[in-house]
A and B are shown apart, each in its own frame.
Chain A
């Protein structure tokens, strides 16, 4: 029976799983704590936290683009940059810009010593003010976990990138990468069955399957001693540039192309040492049924919602952030449960150099908003500096607790004198 496998004698790669004591031999990967699944970093350590440790090998990370595609493009570049820094192979597919240009625009990694200097300073400043006072009012938020540990500069998993600098060409050329630019590939004839799929998707699948087979990522080449991971990035899938009309009308002609593509892609990913990031302009797809099916066919789905042009841009609650992060789906791979972070309200912000995702500090924010409204005669004893607002460079780590100072200290006295504030003690 073809179903029982091995009918054509093709070896299928079996992912190594289970709590084996062997360390991960692949660069840039680490085994998950729970079930030994190999994880890759997505390029953004705070996103790795949200996804339960990282992107599992063999899975698909789908990013629903924000309205102007700015921030999803950043996540896409972080994923590819992480692949270069870890020494993985890359496959970049786009219909919008040539993959050569995409690779020229990748952010430069923050080197160990400068990373330590920049981030360590803020970390130290923040921790010195992290008083262990228990919260009296917003006590439910007392035990909110920190999103991530302070960045140790010498970590091998997960790196930080500086958006203001470009990655050096030497680093980019140090790995093997493959590109698929749709407009160059349209002349080739696909040799596989089209299955009524969009021609562009068929060519992309064929190209991908060829690279996986030739590169030995599916374990079909036993001669290859040094195994490596293939990172696949597909930009703007489903947009009209790929020849798909699901973004153009409510009743598109071919509703199934994208979902068929994702299904075949899933099959390719599961049987090879690869991980894929796809950005989809979900806000343009008018037929929401398609997005539901696409979500079911992907492993991890993260939606970005930026505040540009929306009323939230001027909302004081969202003052420090540039947008929201919606995690629509996390997979349960090889296990009944999955490792998710407990914080579900997530927002992102892009400061001068760094992009971070963190839990929204709603309680602290509301308190400050109320204090702002009531002026200096606020009835609450919420006096204290907020480390987020005073430092000009953004810290990576953001402590989740609001600072409710009930005993006077040097800093608050100085602040009070400076601002001429008299405080009514609440208790």
Chain B
């Protein structure tokens, strides 16, 4: 099943080409990628990363906390990947946060021993995210999961966990453990989506986001335009490659593109060169 991509206007680059050239080639294994959005919805990045990694043949563990499986499945179909098929052949392990939460809250008292709910922190007794980490560990270290480019952990999205009662420290510990497991031990990648705002009063969220920004190797920051809503340019994507983490004294590379989201594709172009203007 191939995706029909809308023809790109001159000067614009299709999302897949874009991801290949800008994001992936410099992105070797064992990296933490942070997807960040302010004043707009950055979930299109999650969909693209998911379909990209599945197409590349990597084993993916997707922790989807905010939307249902059918939502991602329908969008992935438009992008040319079948999530159901990937799940059946074991390439994708999908944690549907909403369903686990309902099972935990409305489920009967006796739980299967050895299989605690990944969202056990909701019930309050262990206030850290150990159960969630155990879930990730079991799904990614399962035997037979050696894939070509290493396993990938995808998290959508982290800011929800703060609203559910996890403390910022517990959240950062969880990310640290995941990085130690996935990036260092399994030589894979971790991709995390967070929400942020400039004038946000949510200090816990800002703490988590700032801390993750310092630890990430690549930051993709989707922002709404400062001038407001525009039909032809949906936002601006800032790509920050943290070269300073590898070599001391070097500056981070920052690139800024504007984008427009279409039904099956996202087109990127240089600032001010949208097809509507040219």
Please tell me if the beta carbons of B203 and A271 are within 8 angstroms of each other in the complex: no
Q: Is B82 an interface residue (CB 8 A)?
A: no
Within 8 A of A (CB), among B221-278: 228-229, 231, 261-264, 266
- Determine if A3 and B263 form an interchain contact, defined as CB atoms under 8 angstroms apart: no
Q: What residues on A are CB-neighbors of B135 within 8 Å?
A: 1, 3
Select one of A209, A256, A267, A293 contacting B101, CB under 8 A.
A267
> How far is it, in angstroms, between the C-alpha of A342 and the C-alpha of B231 when the chains are bound?
7
In the complex the two chains form, is B262's CB within 8 Å of A193's CB? Answer: no
A240 at the interface (CB under 8 A from B): no
Select one of B66, B160, B164, B203 contacting A289, CB under 8 A.
B203
User: Which chain B residues border A288 with CB–CB below 8 Å?
Assistant: 201-202
B100 close to A (CB within 8 Å): yes
Q: A195 touching B262 by the CB < 8 A rule? A: no
Contact A3 B118 (CB under 8 A): yes
Contact among A3, A266, A268, A336 for B261, CB-based, below 8 A = A336
Shortest distance in angstroms between A9's beta carbon and chain B's nearest beta carbon?
A: 12
CB-defined contacts of B93 to chain A, threshold 8 Å: 1, 3-4
Contact pick for B228, options A193, A259, A260, A344, CB 8 Å: A344
Select one of B94, B165, B261 contacting A256, CB under 8 A.
B165
Across the interface, do A292 and B96 meet the contact criterion of CB distance under 8 Å?
no
Evaluate contact between B95 and A3: CB separation under 8 angstroms. yes
Which B residue's beta carbon lies closest to that of A3?
A: B95
A209 and B101 alpha carbons, distance in the complex (Å): 13
Contact A263 B163, beta carbon cutoff 8 Å: yes
Known contacts A4-B93, A4-B94, A292-B202; decide if A336 and B266 are in contact (CB<8 Å): yes
CB distance from B40 to the nearest CB of A (A): 11
Complex: A328 Cα to B94 Cα, angstroms: 30
Instruction: Check A1–B115 contact: CB distance below 8 A.
Output: yes
Segment of A11-19, A82-90, A105-113, A220-228 engaged in the interface with chain B: A11-19
**Are A2 and B118 also in contact (CB < 8 A) when A260-B165, A336-B262 are?**
yes
Contacts of A333 in B (CB 8 A): 71
The residues in A between 56 and 115 inclusive whose CB is less than 8 angstroms from any CB of B are 58
> Is A263 touching B75 in the complex (CB atoms < 8 A)?
no
Tell me, in angstroms, the Cα distance from A159 to B33 when the chains sit together: 48
Q: Please tell me if B189 contacts chain A, counting CB pairs below 8 Å.
A: no
Enumerate chain B residues within 8 angstroms of A271, measured Cβ to Cβ.
Answer: 68, 98-99, 102
User: Which of the segments B103-111, B143-151, B176-184 contacts the partner chain?
Assistant: B103-111
In the complex, what distance in Å separates the CA atom of A287 from the CA atom of B104? 29
0/1 per residue, A279-317, Cβ < 8 Å to B?
A: 000000001110011001100000000000000000000
Q: Whose C-beta in chain B lies nearest to the C-beta of A337?
A: B261
A270 close to chain B: CB less than 8 A: yes
Are A335 and B75 CB-contacts (below 8 A) given A4-B87, A192-B106?
yes
- Is there contact, CB below 8 Å, between A336 and B264? yes
Is B117 interfacial (CB-CB < 8 Å)?
Answer: yes
Q: Which partner residue on chain A sits nearest B201 by CB separation?
A: A288
Residues of B within 8 A of A7 (CB): 103, 112, 115
In the complex the two chains form, what is the Cα distance from A8 to B159 in whole Å? 29
Q: Which of A17, A256, A287, A336 contacts B263 (CB 8 A)?
A: A336
Give the chain B neighbours of A342 by CB distance below 8 A. 229, 231
Determine the distance from Cα of A195 to Cα of B71 in the docked complex, in whole angstroms.
27
Chain B residues positioned under 8 Å from A34 (CB to CB): 263
For the complex, would chain A's binding face be called helix, strand, loop or mixed by DSSP majority? Answer: loop
Q: Are A270 and B68 in contact (CB under 8 A)?
A: yes
Note all chain B residues with C-beta closer than 8 A to A297. Answer: 66, 160, 163
- Output the least CB separation between A39 and chain B (Å): 16
User: Does A264 touch B at the CB level, under 8 Å?
Assistant: yes
**B70 and A14 form a contact (CB under 8 A):** yes
Which residue of the partner chain B has the closest CB to A213?
B106
Tell me the B28-86 residues at the A interface (CB within 8 Å).
Answer: 41, 43-44, 47, 66-71, 74-75, 78
Closest to B139 in A: A1
Question: A5–B228 contact, CB under 8 A?
Answer: no
Closest CB in chain A relative to B84 CB, distance in Å:
11
B94 in contact with A289 (CB, 8 Å): no
Is A389 in the interface zone, CB < 8 Å from B?
no
A14-46 to B contact mask, C-beta < 8 Å, 1/0:
110110000000000000001100000000000
Contact of A293 among B105, B106, B122, B162 (CB under 8 A): B162
Given A205-B105, A336-B47: A18 and B205 interface contact (C-beta under 8 Å): no
Residue A412 CB within 8 A of the other chain:
no
Given that A264-B105, A296-B160 are known contacts, is A336 also in contact with B122, CB under 8 Å in the complex? no
Q: How far is the CB of A151 from chain B (nearest CB, A)?
A: 27
- Distance to closest chain A CB from B81 (angstroms): 14
Q: Flag whether A332 is at the interface (Cβ < 8 A).
A: yes
| With A336-B78, A337-B262 as contacts: A259 and B164 at CB distance below 8 Å | yes
A337 touches B201 (CB 8 A): no
Residues A263 and B160 in contact, CB atoms below 8 Å apart: yes
Give bound CA distance, A287 to B205, whole Å.
14
Contacts of B105 in A (CB 8 A): 192-193, 195, 205, 264
A152 at the B interface (CB under 8 A): no
Within 8 A of B (CB), among A248-264: 256, 259-260, 263-264
The 10 closest A-B pairs by CB, nearest first: A259-B163, A289-B202, A267-B98, A293-B163, A288-B201, A3-B95, A334-B74, A196-B124, A267-B102, A256-B165
A contacts, CB < 8 Å to B: 1-5, 7-8, 12, 14-15, 17-18, 34-35, 58, 192-193, 195-196, 205, 209, 256, 259-260, 263-264, 266-268, 270-271, 287-289, 292-293, 296-297, 332-337, 342, 344
Known pairs A15-B70, A292-B201; list 5 more (Cβ under 8 Å): A7-B112, A17-B70, A196-B123, A205-B105, A296-B159
**B-side interface residues toward A, CB under 8 Å?**
41, 43-44, 47, 66-71, 74-75, 78, 87, 93-96, 98-107, 112, 115, 117-118, 122-124, 135, 138-139, 159-160, 162-165, 195, 197, 200-205, 228-229, 231, 261-264, 266
